[in-house]
């Protein structure tokens, strides 16, 4: 997840982060079941204080955008449409499985495109 925080912006850094994640969810680039970095990992990656990231995550959690699953981590929450949510989770699981086999994303995308082109 690539996030750029503009320190000269009039928008607070935690709001920039929150709006970025929300935008990724709304656009479909982050889907239900997608694991997002830990507070500390994301803070180190984008150069913010952990408390700043934690505040953004807390507000996203209160809004139902993300959910924490204990030691398993923080994930994008279900979107409300059970069919769409199930499809998103299956797509996320499929990609994770193929990545665990060492396949590059371009190959995975090719498999999905081929499957979509196959008549049912």
User: Given the structure tokens 């970025």, which residue do they identify?
Assistant: 20
Give the pLDDT confidence of 12-71 residue by residue, as tens digits: 999 999 999 988 988 888 988 899 999 999 999 999 999 999 999 999 998 889 999 989
Mean pLDDT of 105-117: 94
- pLDDT number for residue 64: 85
CB 111 within 8 A of CB 98: yes
pTM, full prediction: 0.70
- pLDDT number for residue 81: 61
- Dihedral pair phi/psi, residue 76, rounded to 5°: -70, 130
Give the pLDDT confidence of 72-110 residue by residue, as tens digits: 999 999 875 667 777 888 998 999 999 999 999 999 999
Give the DSSP H or E segment for 102: none
């Amino acid at each position: 997840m690539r996030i750029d925080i503009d320190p000269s912006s009039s928008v607070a850094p935690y709001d920039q982060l929150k709006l970025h994640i929300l935008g990724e969810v709304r656009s479909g680039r982050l889907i239900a079941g997608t694991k997002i970095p830990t507070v500390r990992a994301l803070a180190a990656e984008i150069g913010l204080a952990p408390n700043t990231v934690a505040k953004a995550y807390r507000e996203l959690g209160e809004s139902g955008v993300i959910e924490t699953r204990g030691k398993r981590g923080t994930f994008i929450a279900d979107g409300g449409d059970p069919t769409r949510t199930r499809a998103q989770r299956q797509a996320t699981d499929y990609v994770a499985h193929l990545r665990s086999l060492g396949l590059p994303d371009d190959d995975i995308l090719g498999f999905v495109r081929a499957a979509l082109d196959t008549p049912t």
